[in-house]
Structure 1
Amino acid sequence: MVRLMRPNDGGLAPTRRGLLVAMAGASLAFGFPRELEAAMDPAMPGGVPRSDTGLAFEPTLWFAMDGNGIVTINIIRAEMGQHVGTALARILADELEVGWDKVRISHVDTDLKWGLMVTGGSWSVWQTFPVFSRAGAAGRIALIEQGARLLGVEPSDCVARDGSVAAGQRSISYGDIVRQGTLDRRFTAEELGALPVKPASERRLVGRAVQALDIPPKTNGTARYGIDARVPGMVYARPRIPPTRNGAKVNSIDDSAAKAVKGYVTSIALDDPSGTVPGWVMVIAESYPAAIRAAELVKVDWTAGPTAGVSENDIQERARQLITQPDVGTVLDTGGGDTAAAFKVARTTLEQSYTTATVLHFQLEPVNALAFEKDGLFEIHTGNQWQSLILPTLAKALGRPERGIVMRTYLIGGGFGRRLNGDYAVPAALAAKALGKPVKMVLTRADDTLFDSVRSPSVQRLRMAFGESGNVTAMEHDAAAGWPTQVMADFFMPKGQDGKPFDPFAIAGADHWYNVGAQKVRAISNDLANTAFRPGWLRSVGPGWTNWALESFIDEAAHHVGLDPVAFRLRLLDGSGRNAGSAPNAIGGASRQAEVVRRAAARAGWGAPLPADTGLGLATSFGQERDMPTWVACAARVHVSRTSGIVTVEKLTIVTDAGTVVDPDGARAQTEGGALWGLSMALHEGTAFERGQVRDINLDSYTPLRISDVPELDISFVDSVEVPVGLGEPATTVVAPAIGNAIFAAVGARLRHIPITPETVLAALNRTEG
């Protein structure tokens, strides 16, 4: 599967910066002084082990330096192939003025001192940049002060460069300073917040090519993934998945046939106070192959939950019903304006509906967890993207305080948002508690799919009002889907203009930067989706479907008023009013989005003649939400076969303005990976619910993009010194609408559902030609 070539930061869309700051707290962000965890056991999870020379200088909880000048930087973000440690470590190392060869990284276990531990929404660099910059600056200042004392000069006479403090012709290495001096400089949180950091012109690691620090363990076999975890005396578990995600109850278990399997131990129905895995039966064996075989023979009689008969069509019909009810949902604060009045006096109006199918994660490493109690501490060994979310659930399931539970960190073989929901840790922990011994649970591919936190199917209705000369006077956008945050993290839900809470990760992208006059955005929770399955965050999250509808509709609106789609977008991206942008994250506002549109169109040859049945389509986005916009535009060139309906994507041209690009190679990799997944979901990926469960449970019928379908990619970035924002997901959001718009440009057929299949293309062609 092509998606595995370029893993990303995760699937969760960003929330409000203030909420993050409030949750993490200034003391946690800068925590001076604190003790570090013990040096990482080389036999334990991946990452780069710490130096063995001892830790002597630790001005912040984020890094420590030993007597050889080796710097170990603590990373709280999950590593799933995106080299997040490399990207973040260089931020701190640049400010610290230490050579890259002296840098090590440590992916840490859970501890309240780290604050909010979450990896998703393209947050990692954006959140970490200010914290690590000032932590590095603090270390540099302390080293300069102590180096000056050892050299017998004033700190103002010294400079730090490449791991040394120099005054004129004399210098002393950081390692020597650590060995010879007593470094006791401390900073308050206020002092840290006021520390100056380097101007962009003086950066030596940020934005430069360096080798990823975790390549050696990943290539020599020493990196440890969750699926590699093991301890002496453990048993293996494979679950029997109940017929519904919620509400199932076990009536009886017949394991008589399983007893013939060598190594089979027992089968237990889980008692889960947290309600995470109702109706689960764990089949226990001495080996994983035995657990797999035995589970096939164990017969379980269930009482299914109330959604046992639910279909994809039922879920979508419920969404359509909710959209027609004007008082349902939450209205976002988009600057006001009376859309109803504007529509009443409009010269013309346009209304369309768009839908998306259920999408699966299908990450390479199926979910797994090893759990056991040791010395009064309950240990969970697994890869996870949001440790801070699942710890309270584990505490409730186990009936013990959070401080009595620790999650050991491992590399992740593909996250894409699936491991933001750490529900898979719960059954392993409950089984270990029940048996009184270590239990390692590994799901098969089919089990993993049935237990997936899928991207909800969605229905969206968009309306636009036009005045004189095709000027847009109002726009409404209603979006209905399952809300993952409502189900799993309702404390992350802000309130809308009408005072009602909403899931920002299920509507981000709809509150766009176009000037459309009066604007109304309504987010609607599909209650049937929320109960039929556990909605999840999947790479690009809300904008994966909101931008499909928005940018398809903008294209239709351009044709409605007889304007070129690029020219129409540029007219609306005028940067006026609330779209002017603001410091620190959105300086320039819509004018920066307009620039990536211009560049993408120019690079793709917009307006040039194309062969028959070949078209160029464009779409743009701001990536996630308005608080941390990543401006991106994609031009897709496609060929459409009028006989087979097959759409061949020949080239994707993507231009991105992500502010300061910290890791150039990682930025390109993230953009390529995001674009390819966007292409995969546009033309290939999608399943449907049948009788309460997803139809496709393996890769024989669920067919993501294959290597032979990968188009030419033209990826470029706008040079910028603005705040670095996210790159893991923005490219995913623009590819599908660009393809849909290109199909219309090629053959005049408009598609309003993804995935776009040959059958739907032929049907659209028949409608057009008819």
Structure 2
Amino acid sequence: MIAGAAGGGIIAIWALMPRDYPVPLSAGEAEHAFNAWIKVGRDGVVTVAVPELEMGQGSTTLFPRIAAQELGADWRQVAVEPAAISAAYADPVLAARWSGLWSEWLGSATWLGLADDPDDYLVERHAETERLMATAEGTGIAAYEMKLREAAAAVRTLLAMAAAERWGVNFEECTAEAGFITHQDKSLRFGELVDEAALLTPPDPVPLRPDPASATMPELTGNAALGEAGYFVRLDAPSKVDGSYPFAADIRIPDLVYAAIAHGPLADSVLDSVDADANDGAARRVIGYLGRVEGPGWLACVATSQWAAEKALGLMKPRFRPGRALPDDARIQAALDQAMAEGAPEVIHQRADPLPALQGMGVTEASYGFAPQVHGTIETASATARIMDGRLSLWMATQAPGAARRAAAEALGIPESDVVVLPVGAGGSFDARLEVAIAREVAAIAFAIGRPVQLAYSRWQEHLRALPLPPARIDCRALVGQRGTIRAWHSRIARPAAARQMHARLDEGLRPEAAMEAASGLVDPPALMGHAPPYAIPQLLVDCVPADIGVPVGRLRGNGEIHPCFAAECFVDEVARANGEEPLSFRVAMLGDNPRLFACLQGAAQIAGWDGGSDGSSQGLACWQMADPAGRPEGGGYIAVIANARLGSSEAGGGVEVSSLSAHVDIGRIVDYDLALQQIEGGLLYGMALALGMAVGFDGGLVRERTLGALNLPQLSRMPEISVAFADSLAPPFDPGEIGVVAAPPAIANALRAATGSRFRTMPIRVSASQLAPANPPQQADAAADAALEPAAEDAAPDSAAPAYDEPVELPDGSMAR
């Protein structure tokens, strides 16, 4: 973290703060905490509380920037610190977004509807009572921007009032800029005014600056107060460049020891045995070995170094006994197929009734399959625990600090008030750090050993305990009307309820297997199941059937939007080609009153030099929109992506080669251009990784992919050229973190269809060795695939489904056969 000013002093509580809980931001001797968000030191350093986990997305720059602009601070004197767990930082937007997970106890549909509004009293009270401040769903700007601006405006006003009293002028005549309060030819530094300002009370309401304009590139202002480069440089960049930034495994405290852990399969496993000889002999002879600790479904070894702990654990040779059937790929696919065939669907989106129209002739059908995929973080899970005087201190990277504190307290049987969570930055997360099992484990190990302990997962354990993006199957049907556009659409999703499982783990403290049982037979709330296809289709139905696959699942960057976007945008491409339509024009004709998405399609085509995506072109198109997390109809995010991709030759190592990704994005008013650009670029690359890899398979309950290399992540030498343009918009800001992730995979799949004539209907995309040889002309390749894979003529998809894979085989229904 970036250190703030030293010292302590008086806390001044201002009128805008709620009165039912204290200001959680502590102050040193030479600084004043003016509210829950900002403290200012006598040296002029402005410290801003950040209630979200920094995991690369830039929260520790974005939130301070919002405050600094409103305050008029010198960016060179801005620091951050992680916010304490407090109702002051409760996120009502996230509470509303997740209302379908927590509000069912309200019973009445009327009350349930009220809980969808972030401004509703029920939502605010739930967020405050639960101290909900999880980093999820891209709600940060919507939840905190105005709170930060109001807090900064109050501090600016107090400083101006203090200066005005000295000068005998009206405070409204004073200005705040670059860390100074100025009136005509007089000026005072913020630090010279904090003692007096802390004794004053601001007006209610406080005066805000005009709403900021959308940030553009470059953000050069010529103001040295914004740093040497003249713009808002990332506050975490210097320490990450020189290696001093503290990640979870970097924590060092006196008397610290290290732990390595082995888990059983996620099947209610219990520790069955350890190797007796290793326990009594070899493990004890490892230099630095201190002991072992057993927990529910795990065994940990503790030593004076991480290497010694891992070595001793390996010699222990722990064996686990599962308490339920162990999952494998075949069982997972069978569960999805059974759900699709027999499940009772629940409506996710509906516009009229398309089913009667889809019973006739001319219907296009296709099925898409999705493997479970893991996060692929650079840093594995790590946490440090110290118990002192009956209180637990916990250093960890967590997106859900309240849940982590609760889990650790339950593990030790102590009140939550006796647990202090000290957040540190994450080396990537992609929602992996929403899980808090490691908090229980490290707390239990520290208690058993009686010393501070640092627990770090090995890469194998990270993958073994990962709760993946759930596998899924989506079946699509569509009918094109006389105008040449789709007039009837039905897509059905079969997948486990990942959001409900997550909620049961975080809010109810259930372990993964119990959470899976609690969500059995249920589907996720519609708001968390992805947006409907972004087209004005007169008759549309999207429904979902629950699938109990026997594997606990979780969240991953992109979440509920990934599968619907891939299936919908690939299917639209299929329908267009089946009807002889150019993919871009086909989409535009169906947009209806959606000018923002139209502008994105038009912009992406210009950036990429769209050639129509005809056979052999290697260009593919996809677009999508995501709803505003606060439910504002004028908000939301829009994107169009054009990919250039082809299959590599066997001589070049094969695989999919993506040469470029071009995107036009509308995320409303841009708060920080550099951060937005980084998030879109990173999202496109993460989406490419999901399109080509990051899948895991199961054998006997164990994940086969034990290393990062096994996930088929894109290599640096195969990075595509990325071009991104943003719409100039004053719509409410939309978080850019996930929209690029969801749109990249279908664009790549559609590009491969244009390049090869083969349709790829699985994610990740499967490529066989036979496809690396010179291909038949596209139409012949499609015909060959139809003949080889269709079990019966009446089951044929009009788009000529899939190529004849060698291994594995993709069946027309989307399943995989070996």
TM > 0.5 between the two?
yes
CA contact (8 A) 1:28 1:114 kept: no
- Asked if 1:222 corresponds to 2:247, the answer is no
- Asked if 1:261 corresponds to 2:283, the answer is no
Change (3 A) 1:355 1:608: closer
What amino acid is aligned across from residue 730 of structure 2 in structure 1? Answer: V
- Asked if 1:77 corresponds to 2:52, the answer is yes
| 2-structure distance, mates of 1:406, 1:711 | 44
| 2-structure distance, mates of 1:366, 1:742 | 34
CA contact (8 A) 1:380 1:408 kept: yes
CA contact (8 A) 1:505 1:542 kept: no
Once the 2 structures are TM-superposed, how far is the Cα of residue 69 of structure 1 from its aligned partner? Answer: 2.7
Highest relative contact order (Cα 8 Å, sep 6+), 1 or 2?
1
What is the aligned partner in structure 2 of residue 586 from structure 1?
none
- Asked if 1:288 corresponds to 2:301, the answer is no
Once the 2 structures are TM-superposed, how far is the Cα of residue 220 of structure 1 from its aligned partner? Answer: 2.9
What is the aligned partner in structure 1 of residue 538 from structure 2?
517
Change (3 A) 1:184 1:675: same
SS at match of 1:424: helix
What is the aligned partner in structure 1 of residue 524 from structure 2?
503
Match of 1:617 among 603, 620, 627: 620
Once the 2 structures are TM-superposed, how far is the Cα of residue 624 of structure 1 from its aligned partner? Answer: 6.4
What is the aligned partner in structure 1 of residue 805 from structure 2?
none
Structure 2 residues without counterparts, runs of 5 or longer: 1-14, 91-131, 221-230, 509-520, 785-818
The 10-residue stretch of structure 1 (734-743 or 80-89) with the greater mean CA deviation from structure 2: 80-89
| 2-structure distance, mates of 1:259, 1:392 | 34
What is the aligned partner in structure 2 of residue 729 from structure 1?
738
Kindly provide the CA deviation profile for residues 205-236 of structure 1, in whole angstroms up to 9, marking residues without a partner as x: 99663211122222333321110123222332
What is the aligned partner in structure 2 of residue 476 from structure 1?
490
What amino acid is aligned across from residue 314 of structure 1 in structure 2? Answer: R
Once the 2 structures are TM-superposed, how far is the Cα of residue 378 of structure 1 from its aligned partner? Answer: 1.3
What amino acid is aligned across from residue 396 of structure 2 in structure 1? Answer: T
- Asked if 1:541 corresponds to 2:559, the answer is yes
* Mapping of residues 417-428 of structure 1, within 5 Å: 417-428=431-442
CA contact (8 A) 2:613 2:619 kept: no
TM-score normalised by the chain length of structure 2: 0.79
Change (3 A) 1:609 1:124: closer
| 2-structure distance, mates of 1:114, 1:54 | 24
| 1-structure distance, mates of 2:216, 2:153 | 14
What is the aligned partner in structure 1 of residue 646 from structure 2?
639
Once the 2 structures are TM-superposed, how far is the Cα of residue 737 of structure 1 from its aligned partner? Answer: 0.5
What amino acid is aligned across from residue 636 of structure 1 in structure 2? Answer: A
Once the 2 structures are TM-superposed, how far is the Cα of residue 574 of structure 1 from its aligned partner? Answer: 1.3
CA contact (8 A) 1:206 1:662 kept: no
Match of 1:240 among 262, 275, 293: 262
What amino acid is aligned across from residue 56 of structure 2 in structure 1? Answer: G
| 1-structure distance, mates of 2:372, 2:46 | 45
CA contact (8 A) 2:358 2:477 kept: no
| 2-structure distance, mates of 1:471, 1:561 | 9
- Asked if 1:136 corresponds to 2:143, the answer is no
Once the 2 structures are TM-superposed, how far is the Cα of residue 607 of structure 1 from its aligned partner? Answer: 2.7
- Asked if 1:434 corresponds to 2:434, the answer is no
| 2-structure distance, mates of 1:215, 1:598 | 35
Kindly provide the CA deviation profile for residues 292-319 of structure 1, in whole angstroms up to 9, marking residues without a partner as x: 11111113343213132x2123212211
What is the aligned partner in structure 1 of residue 332 from structure 2?
315
Change (3 A) 1:267 1:505: farther
CA contact (8 A) 2:53 2:135 kept: yes
What is the aligned partner in structure 1 of residue 67 from structure 2?
92
TM-score normalised by the chain length of structure 1: 0.83
What is the aligned partner in structure 1 of residue 761 from structure 2?
752
Once the 2 structures are TM-superposed, how far is the Cα of residue 625 of structure 1 from its aligned partner? Answer: 6.3
What amino acid is aligned across from residue 501 of structure 2 in structure 1? Answer: V
Change (3 A) 1:475 1:55: same
* Mapping of residues 311-350 of structure 1, within 5 Å: 311-325=328-342, 327-328=344-345, 330-332=346-348, 334=349, 336-344=351-359, 348-350=362-364
Once the 2 structures are TM-superposed, how far is the Cα of residue 678 of structure 1 from its aligned partner? Answer: 1.2
Change (3 A) 1:444 1:187: farther
Once the 2 structures are TM-superposed, how far is the Cα of residue 694 of structure 1 from its aligned partner? Answer: 1.2
What amino acid is aligned across from residue 49 of structure 2 in structure 1? Answer: N
SS at match of 1:570: helix
Once the 2 structures are TM-superposed, how far is the Cα of residue 343 of structure 1 from its aligned partner? Answer: 2.6
What is the aligned partner in structure 1 of residue 10 from structure 2?
none
* Mapping of residues 170-185 of structure 1, within 5 Å: 170-185=186-201
Once the 2 structures are TM-superposed, how far is the Cα of residue 33 of structure 1 from its aligned partner? Answer: 8.5
What is the aligned partner in structure 1 of residue 803 from structure 2?
none
Q: CA RMSD in A?
A: 3.1
| 1-structure distance, mates of 2:704, 2:527 | 23
Kindly provide the CA deviation profile for residues 53-102 of structure 1, in whole angstroms up to 9, marking residues without a partner as x: 7113x332101112233211011211123332111111111111222122
What amino acid is aligned across from residue 715 of structure 2 in structure 1? Answer: R
| 1-structure distance, mates of 2:547, 2:474 | 12
Change (3 A) 1:137 1:477: farther
What amino acid is aligned across from residue 602 of structure 2 in structure 1? Answer: R
What amino acid is aligned across from residue 324 of structure 2 in structure 1? Answer: P
What is the aligned partner in structure 2 of residue 454 from structure 1?
468
What is the aligned partner in structure 1 of residue 584 from structure 2?
566
CA contact (8 A) 1:613 1:640 kept: no
| 1-structure distance, mates of 2:541, 2:17 | 37
CA contact (8 A) 1:91 1:205 kept: no
| 1-structure distance, mates of 2:612, 2:576 | 19
What is the aligned partner in structure 2 of residue 298 from structure 1?
316
| 2-structure distance, mates of 1:741, 1:357 | 19
Change (3 A) 1:136 1:32: farther
CA contact (8 A) 2:471 2:495 kept: yes
What is the aligned partner in structure 1 of residue 511 from structure 2?
none
* Mapping of residues 700-719 of structure 1, within 5 Å: 700-719=709-728
Change (3 A) 1:722 1:53: farther
The 10-residue stretch of structure 1 (701-710 or 505-514) with the greater mean CA deviation from structure 2: 505-514
Change (3 A) 1:738 1:422: same
Change (3 A) 1:375 1:512: farther
Change (3 A) 1:639 1:59: same
| 1-structure distance, mates of 2:343, 2:754 | 35
Once the 2 structures are TM-superposed, how far is the Cα of residue 181 of structure 1 from its aligned partner? Answer: 4.6
What is the aligned partner in structure 1 of residue 421 from structure 2?
407
CA contact (8 A) 1:98 1:162 kept: yes
* Mapping of residues 570-589 of structure 1, within 5 Å: 570-575=588-593
Kindly provide the CA deviation profile for residues 123-167 of structure 1, in whole angstroms up to 9, marking residues without a partner as x: 333332222122222222333333333321223433333333333
| 2-structure distance, mates of 1:350, 1:228 | 55
